[in-house]
């Protein structure tokens, strides 16, 4: 390449500044969105189980920021933040949480089952570890079609103790499938600490069983998550090699809305210690140090995302309940694939 | 018309569907190099290659989920379980992922997948290898379930299952693979959700499916020698169930025995009896009886196994009972 670094530096740094601003905005949007979810839950507008992402925003935002639109994302039941990071409309997500007809899943799925086919967001799955083999299947389909997409699969650290995790990773490594398995290690499977559930504490090492590349990542630093994810995506895209990322984070809320933030299984002191590394503060501080972000910028951004969330709330609140006739819709599709399909594999 | 085995009929269905649609692939234990634990996939690896005929580790939960994931993004997997007895490990994927995905995604992700393999008991395989799963699977909204009893039905239903855009469970039978029957050379499909009357008679209906069709036909032959003509209704599909054909048969015979391989409590037979009492109450001249497996795990010893399984003699006794002849 002709150009040398000095020439590129200004524009590159301004691009980086823009990137940091985008990442900060996404994290802040998720934070404000989830705070309003907690409020809506308390008001009875959201029912069932509701698992918030507060504290873990850098994980979803950093990892998804690396992907292309034609890549795939699949997650567990703590997926509001990932859905928003993937670009799902806050309106459609909030309406789904409110159980309304305009929800992304027509009010049929709720908090744990957010889907968006247009964004290749493959859900929201409610059985711990159950969706990890699905990600392997998506990787299989990519390879089958000869594509260069990647499937990113989020799950919590508690899922690594179950059979589905091992079966899925073994096949992905055996068959060389383009999947990034991302453990969001928030230290607790509901109320059971990692050390009380897993025989090894450095769970990234589980990848060694499958001779799979792995990395431990600081999940409170969105840039660190991005960089690790870039390495993993590169391996998956160009070499069809899967990766296991252990991203260490912490949830600042309870396991779900029906769970105390601290108490029986973790102390207030521990929580406060971890909250010192709030992912939003970490990035904001870095941006301030670089001289590219002021308190006024922060206030303006906060107002902007709060307005987006307010709009989502109002949209959801105004959206009708699903029609009763829809109860029996979408149990089956009324179609078959009768037309012969030739040599070209449809996507 | 050519006479071929049930195994070869399934093999033809797989081959034809893989030829017509590149998105169709088969995955499971021993389906490739070994040519299929029961040789149903014989020759497919040689014809279609290892990307479309995929040997898996022994990991039913894992590869069932791989199938669902692949189906979400446009492929049409056929997942072979060496037997449905091993598929219990995969039920989370069959039920929670495949059956519910369309609904919980608000209609965005349908799962065009086939889960197939032999179901129920063979010979002296004892408790863990001899279970009939149909009532578990037919219970689940979002799944379709078929249980063909003849080579003709096996081919036509499997082809329909592969083309269906919903998840379809195909329950085959180890003891059926070697049975023979006429299968035309020209292509045909059998619609899912339709029963067939395998033998006409006016004295009593036998309502059954899967490998019990053969038991019903044996019983019907012997009963005919005594002048008792039974109508044998083969349900073929267990979800959805063809209520119309059942009711038409009862309307004709006024009596029924429901025959199934599985256990009594919450069995398919219980549902059939419910359909009959609701839809054909006024046609009945006798309470409906059921013939099924003894309410025990399957024993190993030959004599105990025979005592546990439904057979033609038990069927004949039941038919005579509903006719007040015994």
In percent, how much of chain B has pLDDT > 70? 100
- Are the beta carbons of A255 and A266 closer than 8 angstroms? no
Interface test with A, best of B23, B62, B112, B142 (most A CBs within 10 A): B62
Q: pLDDT, tens digit, for every residue of A159-213?
A: 999 999 999 999 999 999 999 999 999 999 999 999 999 999 999 999 999 999 9
Q: What is the pLDDT of residue A171?
A: 98
Q: Give B126-185 pLDDT, tens digit per residue.
A: 999 999 999 999 999 999 999 999 999 999 999 999 999 999 999 999 999 999 999 999
pLDDT of A11 strictly over 60: no
Confidence of residue B326 (pLDDT cuts 50, 70, 90): confident
What is residue A206's DSSP assignment? Answer: G
- Structure confidence by residue, pLDDT tens digits, A270-310: 999 999 999 999 999 999 999 999 999 999 999 999 999 99
The DSSP string of B101-135 is: HHHHTTTS-----EEEEE-S--SS-TGGG----HH
pLDDT of B289 higher than 60? yes
- Six token digits for residue B231: 């109508």
**Residues A139-154 pLDDT 10s:** 999 999 999 999 999 9
Q: Does A322 touch chain B (CB under 8 A)?
A: no
DSSP 8-class letter at A71: S
Q: How confident is the model at residue A257 (pLDDT cuts 50, 70, 90)?
A: confident
Rg (CA), chain A: 21
Q: What is the pLDDT of residues A220-238, one digit of tens each?
A: 999 999 999 999 999 999 9
Q: Residue B195 half-sphere exposure, CB side, CA atoms within 13 Å? A: 26
Token look-up 């499958």 returns A210
Q: Which of A25, A62, A86 is nearest to A217 (CA)?
A: A62
pLDDT at A345 over 60: no
Mutate to test the interface with A, among B64, B78, B108, B112 (most CBs of A within 10 A): B108
Q: Is residue B20 pLDDT above 50, yes or no?
A: yes
Angle between helices B212-225 and B312-322 (to 10 degrees): 60
pLDDT, tens digit (0-9, with 9 covering 90-100), for B173-225: 999 999 999 999 999 999 999 999 999 999 999 999 999 999 999 999 999 99
Asked if A336 and B61 come within 8 Å (Cβ–Cβ), the reply is no
A165 touches B at CB < 8 Å: no
Q: Do B69 and A138 touch (CB under 8 A)?
A: yes
Chain B nearest-CA residue for A172: B66
pLDDT at A38: 96
- Would the CB atoms of B62 and A167 count as touching at under 8 Å? yes
Cβ contact (<8 Å) for A168 and B70?
Answer: no
Q: Is A15 exposed, middle or buried (0-12, 13-18, 19+ CB in 10 A)?
A: exposed
pLDDT at A115: 98
* Mean pLDDT over each residue of chain B, to the nearest integer: 98
Domain segments of chain A as ranges: 17-320
Enumerate residues 6+ apart whose C-beta is below 8 A from B229. B200, B201, B202, B203, B223
Average per-residue pLDDT for chain A: 93
Task: Name the residue among B293, B139, B291 with its Cα closest to residue B205.
Answer: B291
pLDDT at A343 over 50: no
pLDDT band at A262 (very low <50, low <70, confident <90, very high): confident
CA angle A65, A67, A68 (to 5 degrees): 125
Close Cβ partners of B120 (under 8 Å, ≥ 6 residues apart): B84, B130, B131, B132, B133, B171, B173, B174, B210, B211, B261, B262
* CATH, domain range A17-320: 3.40.50.970
Interface test with A, best of B18, B50, B58, B65 (most A CBs within 10 A): B65
Angle between helices A295-318 and A5-42 (to 10 degrees): 40
Chain A residue numbers with beta carbons less than 8 Å from the beta carbon of B62 are 133, 136, 163-164, 167-168, 170-171
Question: By the CB < 8 Å criterion, does B247 face chain A?
Answer: no
pLDDT at A339: 64
The encoded tokens of residue A81 equal 């933040």
Q: State whether A141 and B70 contact (CB < 8 Å).
A: yes
Higher pLDDT, B252 or A336: B252
In sequence order, what DSSP letters do the residues of A92-149 get, joined into one string?
A: HHHHHHTT-TTSTTTTSS-TT---BGGGTEEEE--STTTTHHHHHHHHHHHHHHT---
Taking contacts as CB-CB distances below 8 angstroms, the residues of chain B near A138 are 69-70, 72-73
Per-residue pLDDT, A9: 45
DSSP-H helix ranges across chain A: 5-42, 57-64, 80-85, 90-97, 132-145, 163-175, 194-197, 222-239, 268-275, 279-289, 295-318
Predicted pLDDT of residue A151: 98
Nearest to A141 among B73, B107, B165 (CB): B73
CA angle A250–A116–A149, rounded 5-degree value: 80
The residues near A213 (Cβ < 8 Å, ≥ 6 apart) are A207, A232, A235, A241, A242, A243, A244
- Chain A residues touching B18 at Cβ < 8 A: none
Mean pLDDT of A98-116: 98
Q: Please, which pLDDT band fits residue A8 given cuts at 50, 70 and 90?
A: very low
pLDDT tens profile A21-49: 999 999 999 999 999 999 999 999 999 99
Which domains can be identified in chain B, with CATH numbers? 3-182 (3.40.50.970), 196-322 (3.40.50.920)
Question: Residue B281 and residue B161: Cα distance in Å, rounded?
Answer: 33
Residue A341: pLDDT band with limits 50, 70, 90: low
| Whether complex ipTM tops 0.85 | yes
Confidence of residue A12 (pLDDT cuts 50, 70, 90): low
Closest CA to A25 of A293, A234, A259, A304: A304
Question: Taking the mean position of all CA atoms in its chain, how far away is CA B152?
Answer: 13
> Of A87-96, A128-137, A216-225, A255-264, which range is least confident?
A255-264
Query: Is residue A133's pLDDT more than 70?
Result: yes
- The H-or-E segment that residue B291 falls in is strand B289-291
């Amino acid at each position: 390449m002709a150009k040398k670094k000095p020439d590129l530096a200004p524009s590159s740094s301004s691009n980086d500044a823009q990137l940091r601003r985008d990442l900060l905005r996404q994290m802040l949007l998720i934070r404000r969105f989830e705070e309003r979810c907690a409020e809506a839950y308390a008001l009875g507008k959201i029912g069932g189980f509701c698992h918030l992402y507060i504290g873990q925003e850098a994980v979803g935002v950093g990892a998804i920021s690396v992907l292309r639109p034609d890549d795939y994302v699949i997650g567990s039941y703590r997926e509001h933040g990932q859905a928003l990071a993937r670009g799902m409309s806050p309106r459609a997500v909030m309406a789904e949480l409110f159980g309304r007809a305009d929800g992304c899943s027509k009010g049929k799925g709720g908090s744990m089952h957010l889907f968006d086919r247009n964004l290749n967001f493959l859900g929201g799955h409610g059985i711990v570890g159950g969706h990890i083999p699905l990600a392997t299947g998506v990787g299989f389909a990519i390879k089958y079609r000869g594509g260069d997409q990647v499937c990113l699969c989020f799950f919590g650290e508690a899922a690594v103790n179950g059979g589905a995790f091992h079966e899925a990773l073994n096949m992905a490594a055996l068959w060389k499938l383009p999947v990034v398995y991302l453990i969001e290690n928030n230290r607790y499977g509901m109320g059971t600490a990692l050390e009380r559930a897993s025989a090894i504490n450095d769970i990234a090492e589980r990848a060694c069983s499958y001779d799979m590349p792995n990395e431990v990542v600081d999940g409170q630093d969105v840039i660190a998550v991005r960089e690790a994810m870039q390495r993993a995506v590169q391996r998956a895209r160009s070499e069809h090699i899967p990766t296991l990322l252990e991203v260490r984070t912490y949830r600042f809320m309870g396991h779900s809305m029906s769970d105390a933030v601290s108490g029986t299984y973790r102390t207030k002191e521990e929580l406060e210690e971890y909250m010192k590394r709030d992912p939003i503060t970490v990035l904001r501080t870095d941006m301030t140090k670089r001289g590219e972000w002021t308190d006024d910028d922060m206030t303006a951004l906060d107002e902007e995302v709060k307005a987006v969330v307010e709009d989502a709330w109002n949209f959801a609140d105004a959206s009708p309940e699903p029609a009763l006739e829809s109860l029996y819709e979408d149990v089956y599709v009324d179609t078959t694939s009768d037309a012969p399909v030739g040599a070209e594999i449809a996507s | 018309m050519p006479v071929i085995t049930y195994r070869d009929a399934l093999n033809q269905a797989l081959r034809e569907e893989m030829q017509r649609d590149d998105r169709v692939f088969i995955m499971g234990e021993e389906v490739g190099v070994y040519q299929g634990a029961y040789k149903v996939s014989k020759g497919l690896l040689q014809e279609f290659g290892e990307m479309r005929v995929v040997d898996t580790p022994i990991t039913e939960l894992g590869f069932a989920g791989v199938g669902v994931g692949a189906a979400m993004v446009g492929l049409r997997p056929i997942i072979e379980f060496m037997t449905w007895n091993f598929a219990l490990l995969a039920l989370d994927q069959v039920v929670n992922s495949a059956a519910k995905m369309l609904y919980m995604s608000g209609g965005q992700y349908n799962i065009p997948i086939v889960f197939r393999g032999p179901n129920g008991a063979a010979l002296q395989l004892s408790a863990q290898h001899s279970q009939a799963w149909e009532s578990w699977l037919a219970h689940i909204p979002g799944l379709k379930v078929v249980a063909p009893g003849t080579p003709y039905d096996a081919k036509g239903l499997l082809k329909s299952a592969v083309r269906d855009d919903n998840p379809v469970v195909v329950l085959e039978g180890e003891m059926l693979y070697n049975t023979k029957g006429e299968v035309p050379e020209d292509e045909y499909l059998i619609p899912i959700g339709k029963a067939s009357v395998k033998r006409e008679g006016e004295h009593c209906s036998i309502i059954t499916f899967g490998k019990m069709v053969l038991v019903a036909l044996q019983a019907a032959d012997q009963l005919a020698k005594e002048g008792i003509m039974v109508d044998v209704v083969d349900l073929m599909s267990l979800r959805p169930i063809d209520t119309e054909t059942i009711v038409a048969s009862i309307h004709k015979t006024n009596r029924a025995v429901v025959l199934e391989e599985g256990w009594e409590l919450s069995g398919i037979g219980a549902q059939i009896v419910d359909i009959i009492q609701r839809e054909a109450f006024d046609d009945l001249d006798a309470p409906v009886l059921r013939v099924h497996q003894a309410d025990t795990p399957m024993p190993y010893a030959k004599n105990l196994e025979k005592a546990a399984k439904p057979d033609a003699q038990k069927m004949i006794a039941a038919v005579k009972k509903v006719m007040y002849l015994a």
